[in-house]
Chains A and B, each alone.
Chain A
Amino acid sequence: MATRRGVTAIVIGGLIVALGLAFFVSPLASSSPDGLEKVATDEGFIDTAEDHGLADSPLADYGVEGVDNESISTGLSGIIGVAITFGLALLLFGIFHVRRGRDDREPTAAATG
């Protein structure tokens, strides 16, 4: 169906944009503390933060363990994250349609809601 191919093309195009941003642009992102961290520092409660329980995970803090080049490490972690997030979300949303079955609804009915 032409419409489905159109959506697939857009999803693939969007994924390429996301992967490009994750790999090429994320190493250039600001490393300053974010709004909440900054406020917590200024207001004196940053010390109440506990270390993350998974701080030793191989992807902790958006880097890939063992990759020394910081930009490549950040970029690779971004690619891995985009891929895992997409896969997980697609799995989850795909299940809806498998369970619901492919009934032949009117397009208007399928889009309602």
Chain B
Amino acid sequence: MHVPDGFLNAGVSVATGVVSAGGIGYSLVRAKETLSERLAPMAGLVAAFIFAVQMLNFPVAAGTSGHLLGGALACIVVGPWAGVIAVAVVLIVQGLLFADGGLTALGTNILLIAIIPGWTGFAIFRGIRSFLPGNNGSVIGASFVAAFASVVIASIGFVILYAIGGTGNAPMGTVFGAMVGVHFLVGIGEGLITALTVGAVLAVRPDLVYGAQDLVPGLTVGGPADVAVGRS
């Protein structure tokens, strides 16, 4: 999903840069206010883990691969503010040191890989959990669906950006179908990895999963501000 330089014109690249800078700036403020000291080292681990797992491209169809985006995973484990910051750190390291993801496209990539899948994934996770019983199985199931959907939504996000400011002249209908089709498959991988990872942390220390803290006696979480994250 890493967008290289050149796919999108300067206008879209600047616009996504501004939107991403705003989203990350806001997240920094909110994370500073709300990230509990318990979860701070976890946020570092989540970033490092996502860097590693993003290297693990898995085959999804003939001659095509996909890899974890990680936005939904990060937001479920450390919350929607620290989560998008963690993925943004990964993208900055990849863009500046590993030549992965364009430099002028950095804002686009933060939007498509951190903010959109992170916040839509977290909102979907919350939504699904609201009508499931409060147990680990629900958290794991909701993680799968949220992560799956977040990748499909991110792929639609790319198509919208491409429709606005793509430099090539590929027909939008076929780009849409192809992007969503392949990311449907990538999303299944995303869902599996996310559910597995969330399940592993839940099994060891459920209080370290932000999106499951309501299951831990003695911890309260989830003021109204937490729910209002799906705005991007």
Interfacial residues, chain A to chain B (CB-CB below 8 A): 3-4, 6-8, 10-11, 14-15, 17-19, 21-22, 25-26, 29-36, 38-40, 42-45, 47-50, 52-55, 57, 59-62, 74, 77-78, 81-86, 88-90, 92-94, 96-97, 99-100, 102, 107-108, 110-113
Q: Which residues of B contact A19 (CB under 8 A)?
A: 52
Total count of chain B residues near the partner, CB < 8 A: 86
B60 contacts chain A at the CB level, 8 A cutoff: yes
Given the contacts A32-B64, A44-B168, A81-B93, A21 and B56 also touching, CB distance less than 8 Å: yes
- Is B219 interfacial (CB 8 A cutoff)? yes
CB distance A32 to B45 under 8 Å?
no
CB < 8 Å neighbour of A57 from B35, B89, B97: B97
The answer to whether the Cβ of B17 comes within 8 Å of any Cβ in the partner chain is no
Please indicate the chain B residues that have their CB under 8 angstroms from the CB of A62 in the complex: 55, 98, 100
| Cβ–Cβ contact B52 & A22, under 8 A | yes
Assuming the contacts A55-B99, A57-B97, A113-B33, asked whether A38 and B52 have C-beta atoms less than 8 A apart, the reply is no
Select one of B2, B82, B90 contacting A93, CB under 8 A: B82
**Complex interface: chain A residues within 8 A of B102 (CB):** 49-50, 52-53
The 8 closest A-B pairs by CB, nearest first: A45-B168, A113-B34, A86-B48, A50-B6, A90-B44, A89-B47, A30-B65, A60-B99
Task: Say whether B51 contacts A97, CB under 8 Å.
Answer: no
A-side contacts of B201, CB under 8 Å: 10
Q: Is the CB of B41 within 8 A of A90?
A: yes
Q: Which residues from B are CB-within-8-Å of A7?
A: 38, 41-42, 205, 208
Query: Would A110 and B57 count as touching, CB distance under 8 A?
Result: no
Query: How far does the alpha carbon of A14 sit from the alpha carbon of B53 in the complex, in Å?
Result: 12
The interface residues of chain A lying within 8 Å CB-to-CB of B98 are: 57, 59-62, 77, 81
Q: Is the CB of A78 within 8 A of B33?
A: no
* Cβ B2 vs Cβ A26 within 8 A: no
| Central interface residue in B57, B59, B67, B221, by most chain A CB within 10 Å | B57
Query: Which of A7, A22, A47, A89 is packed against the most chain B CB atoms within 10 Å?
Result: A89
Give CA–CA (A92, B174) in the complex, Å: 41
Q: Is the CB of B57 within 8 A of A49?
A: no
Residue pair B44, A97 in contact (C-beta under 8 Å): no
B221 contacts A111, CB within 8 Å? yes
- Whether the pair B58, A111 counts as a contact (CB closer than 8 A) is no
Assess the A112–B34 pair: CB atoms within 8 A. yes
Q: Which residue of B lies closest to A3 (CB)?
A: B38
Which residue among A59, A77, A82, A113 has the maximum number of chain B CB atoms within 10 Å of its CB? A113
